[in-house]
Structure 1
Amino acid sequence: MGDTAYYIVAILVGAVTGVIGTLLHLGVDTLLHWPKALHRVIDDLVDVSVPQAILIAGGAAALAVVLSVWITRTFAPEAGGSGVQEIEGAMEGRREVRWRRVLPVKFCGGLLALGSGLVVGREGPTIHMGASVAQAASETLGLPVRETRGLLAAGAAAGLAAAFSAPLASILFVIEETRRQFPYCLRTYTAVMLASVTSGIVTEELTGRRPFMFVSVPELPLAALPAFVGLGIVLGIVGVGFNRSLVWSMDRALAFGRRTSFYIIPAVVGFVVGILLIVLPFATMGGEQLAVSLMSENLPLAMMALAVFIRFIMTMASYATGVPGGIFAPILALATAIGLLYGLVLDAALPYLLPAGALPSGALPALAVAAMGGLFSATVRAPLVGVVLIAELTGDYNAFVPAIVTCLFANLVADRLGGRPIYEVLLERTLRLAGEAPPVPPASERRQIGGWDQR
């Protein structure tokens, strides 16, 4: 296939992925109105008490989660969780993208899981579906292995662009995250760019041209940068703990499911999520809009600490259910809460540490925005993507330098603590469960830095 034809295929993959990703996005947004609809129904039924209403909400969410898990386990077990590690495995030739079953299961299962209120992100399904569209095109056209793997990367980038309307970060994500697997050349790199940009254009045409998480951050003095160094250090520690806790929760849920039933934990988690949707909404859902609303709600320190704690727990529990869903969005929401909590603690402590010490005006939203990139860097270990992603998501560049500082130190601290990229760890776990040995890159392609393999 000539270059022009290959580029046209990449554009078509991006366009189709943009449409599918947007349909999932809009479908989830529509389904998440069900708690309000339940309120209206209950208001019309005078014989239904508040406790009964809460139990109804819990039962509805539990049913949706269990159904999502059943669809996934029955028809496409590889569609559970995030799709990133599956795509990386396919680009290494260790996993197969069975697009005929992954596409419908990822869409329907993701719609149920995200619509139930679970703390999972929509980017996992869209990335996997984008790669599935690419696999379908590759099989139809009979593309060779190298071109197929390049198109898989293009489809994954298009999926991320559809989820967050962030085409530049999507391109960088493929290059930085799949540095070991991506068959880099002008042809494949151009295909990734074309697919990502096309998906972003389609998404904007269908949903409107606006930053996905618009935030306005005032300019900060350079004297405030040490606060972001400290934030990066904190997030580096949290990121390593996040990754280890995520894998631990998945292993415990799998062991419990093998001993009893794979549907008990999803039912319990779904029931709890349904209750929290009514009594404590900020503890539920992927968290894209929560990250924005937290910056304007001015929650007290104790409530922000509760938000951090419960978002962390619910992220672990939700992902361990095995539904189709990603961790990008939950990471961003959790990071926002951590950044705000860090700012509140720092603001309370500064008067005791420095004469007339206080955070400058506008520091709290800047810390929240920088924290999103910082925690992403510490968990995914892609600091450049973290910086660009936050800039595209929020549409604000005043926090650009503080975000770079935060991402840099978060990445360095996570590296020093032996933290590894979460998708690399998840791929190794997937291969281990499938009875395969994890991939080991050649020594010529890596250098060891605190346990992190870098090209």
Structure 2
Amino acid sequence: MDLAGQPDTPWRQARFVVVALVAGVLTGVFGGLFHLLIEQIIEWPNWLARHVGGWRLIGASALVTMAATVFAVFLTRRFAPEAGGSGVPEIEGAIAGVRHVRWERVLPVKFVAGIVAIGSGHVLGREGPTIHMGGSAALIATDIFGVKGVDRQALLAAGAGAGLACAFNAPMAAVLFVIEETRKQFPYTFRTYMGVFAATIAGTAMSQFISGTRPELPLAAGQAALASLPLFGLLGAVLGGVGVLFNFSIMKMLDLTAAWQKRAPYAWPVLVGLVVGALLVIAPRTVTGGEGVISEIARVTPGIAALLMLAAARFITSVSSYSTGTPGGIFAPILALAACLGLAFGELVQMAMPEAFSGMGLTPVSFGIVAMAALFTASVRAPAVGVVLVMELTASYALTLPTLTACLIASLVAQWLGGRPIYGQMLERTLALAGVAQQTTRSPSTGLAADPDRP
């Protein structure tokens, strides 16, 4: 029997998996093209530099990013306001039955505005849009096959998981994301769980077919000795505090820009666009999603002061870019910020205890890799997702134990400091602005959140 009290027959299971496969394929198409187009468009500053130089290059770059930002904000506000930002809170709210995904609007707006915003150089990740587009693609599949109720909710979550897999080529992290991040909303049964697997497999395969298959961040790191675990625990404690500060800053900036929007609707997007565009020329490491930045700083390993300055700059540009309201995620910016801090921590430890550092098989890159999972955990509060995501991204499986240690401490410190998961805060804010009661209405027959799409 399923959650609705109906027999869960092999035929019903097979049909559900087929629909999930279709949802995954659609997600892979949109996610793969999204990734491919951003990779092509983000090269525009190099093209511009071949035609102009000096202050004219800085001014032209600032104007291009400003125009792209305003266009993305206008498109989002005019046609699908819920497509702004990450999209993960919208998916969680839709699974819980307190939000409605208008896929006819969200999918094209998220796709076009997301490419424009991320491709213009903003410090935004592509995973938020692909998760939202994945949920939208799943709803297309449910409409085609006439799926309703609990199964529709489950497929929405499966499509979102496939979207994460497309963004990072990280299918196992995507499965865990559905189970861990949406654990309060996901209608868990054998059938729905297998549907998540099916959608993730299909989405990853299709995305790899379109945009290629590879670890996103192939970083070289050795195996750390057991004696180094306290050092990674200390790193986790530091990043637990940084994660709380990052979440606090995001939420405060969203409130500030919302108040500013009432007086001058496009003033903040214009200002941020101009600054980000100028930084693309003056200090390119401080902007863009950050995947390339991680690979670069891991290869050249700047000094501690340079890394801390870069971390401070990327903290500000991350929060500012997200607060404009364009489509874009925070996963990639969090990973880049964490890499800067982790590398700086590693270099500091190496300077303080050089013999012990080399004796334990450590490198600064080891701390950079572990830091990515720890900061993700402190902000999102999904430690299993953080560990597996970083392992799949970097192929650094030898660091699994240090990564688990850092994520444990980061999660505890964030909890003790009063921090709350970022997506939960965003969803509460969205519901408050929409005037929706935050207590989810539950279906008496399933115990799940009522589905607004269910007749």
1:382 corresponds in structure 2 to: 382
Q: Unmatched 5+ residue regions in structure 1?
A: 43-48, 443-455
1:361 positional shift: 4.9
Taking structure 2 as the reference length, the TM-score comes to 0.92
1:67 corresponds in structure 2 to: 71
Take 2:412 and 2:96, find their aligned partners in 1: how far apart are those partners? 27
1:373 aligns with 2:373: yes
1:277 aligns with 2:280: yes
1:427 corresponds in structure 2 to: 427
1:24 corresponds in structure 2 to: 34
User: SS at 1:399's partner residue?
Assistant: helix
1:411 corresponds in structure 2 to: 411
1:441 positional shift: 9.8
Whether contact under 8 Å (2:290, 2:332) holds in the other structure is yes
Q: Of 14, 35, 39, which aligns to 2:49?
A: 39
Take 1:231 and 1:28, find their aligned partners in 2: how far apart are those partners? 33
1:129 corresponds in structure 2 to: 133
User: What is the aligned residue count?
Assistant: 431
Take 1:54 and 1:199, find their aligned partners in 2: how far apart are those partners? 39
1:287 aligns with 2:297: no
Q: Unmatched 5+ residue regions in structure 2?
A: 1-10, 443-455
Taking structure 1 as the reference length, the TM-score comes to 0.92
Whether contact under 8 Å (1:428, 1:439) holds in the other structure is no
Take 1:324 and 1:209, find their aligned partners in 2: how far apart are those partners? 25
User: SS at 1:2's partner residue?
Assistant: helix
Take 2:302 and 2:318, find their aligned partners in 1: how far apart are those partners? 21
Q: How does 1:231-242 map to 2 (within 5 A)?
A: 231-242=235-246
Offset from partner CA, 1:349-399 (integer Å, 9 cap, x none): 347xxxx65455542111000000000110000101111111111112111
Whether contact under 8 Å (2:20, 2:195) holds in the other structure is yes
Counterpart residue identity of residue 128, structure 1: H
Q: How does 1:188-337 map to 2 (within 5 A)?
A: 188-261=192-265, 263-337=266-340
Counterpart residue identity of residue 55, structure 1: G
Report 1 or 2 for greater relative contact order, CA contacts < 8 Å, sequence distance ≥ 6: 2
Take 2:336 and 2:33, find their aligned partners in 1: how far apart are those partners? 23
* Distance change >3 Å, CA 357–CA 167, structure 1 → 2: closer
Q: How does 1:344-359 map to 2 (within 5 A)?
A: 344-350=347-353, 358=357
Please, which moves more after superposition, 289-298 or 20-29? 289-298
Counterpart residue identity of residue 23, structure 1: L
Counterpart residue identity of residue 400, structure 2: F
User: SS at 2:322's partner residue?
Assistant: helix
Take 2:132 and 2:139, find their aligned partners in 1: how far apart are those partners? 10
2:151 corresponds in structure 1 to: 147
Offset from partner CA, 1:284-331 (integer Å, 9 cap, x none): 111112112211112011111111100000000000000000000000
Offset from partner CA, 1:255-301 (integer Å, 9 cap, x none): 1111222x111111111111111111110111112112211112011
1:406 positional shift: 0.7
Take 2:402 and 2:343, find their aligned partners in 1: how far apart are those partners? 15
Counterpart residue identity of residue 165, structure 1: N
1:14 corresponds in structure 2 to: 24
Counterpart residue identity of residue 369, structure 1: I
Offset from partner CA, 1:129-159 (integer Å, 9 cap, x none): 0100111222333322100000000100010
* Cα root mean square deviation, aligned: 1.5
1:440 positional shift: 6.4
Whether contact under 8 Å (2:301, 2:343) holds in the other structure is no
Counterpart residue identity of residue 372, structure 1: M
Take 1:214 and 1:289, find their aligned partners in 2: how far apart are those partners? 11
